[in-house]
Amino acid sequence: MKKAKIYKPSKSAMQSGLKKFDKWIIEFITNKPGINPLMGWESSDDTYSELILEFSSKELAVDYANKNNIEYEIIEPKIRKITKKSYSDNFTD
C-alpha cells in the first residue's frame, strides 16, 4: 500500500483566523512525479497524489490508516508562541 503523512495544516501568513485548521489530514506521498511532455507541467500517473482525507482528530486518522493498511508518518503541529504586546511598547525601550 502507499505511504501517507498525517498532519494538521498550518495557516498561511495571509490568514488571521484558525477556523479551518482544526482538522487532521491524510495525504498520500507520490514517489515519482514527472514532467508532462505536452505542457511541461509536473504531473503523475499516481491518482493517490490527488486524494486528501480530512478527520476531526488525530486518533481517527490513525485508526483509518491502520484499518486500511496504510503506512503513515505523523507530523505533529508546532505550537504558536504568542507574546502579548501593548501599543506603548513600540515607543519605549
CATH number of the CATH domain containing 40: 3.30.160
Q: What is the DSSP track for 45-79?
A: S-GGGG-EEEESSHHHHHHHHHHTT-EEEEEPPPP
C-alpha neighbours within 13 Å on the C-beta side of residue 48: 13
Mean pLDDT, residues 23-35: 84
Question: Domain count of the chain?
Answer: 1
The Cα 6–Cα 66 span in angstroms is: 12
Q: What pLDDT is recorded for position 67?
A: 95
Q: What pLDDT is recorded for position 93?
A: 64
Q: Is 12 a residue whose pLDDT tops 80?
A: no
Residue reference for cell 508562541: 81
Q: What pLDDT is recorded for position 6?
A: 94
**Segments forming the whole domain that contains residue 52:** 3-11+20-90
| Residue 19 or 37, more confident | 37
Q: Are strands 42-43 and 71-75 parallel, antiparallel or unpaired?
A: unpaired
Q: What is the pLDDT of residues 32-85, one digit of tens each?
A: 777 878 888 877 777 787 889 999 999 999 999 999 999 999 999 888 787 888
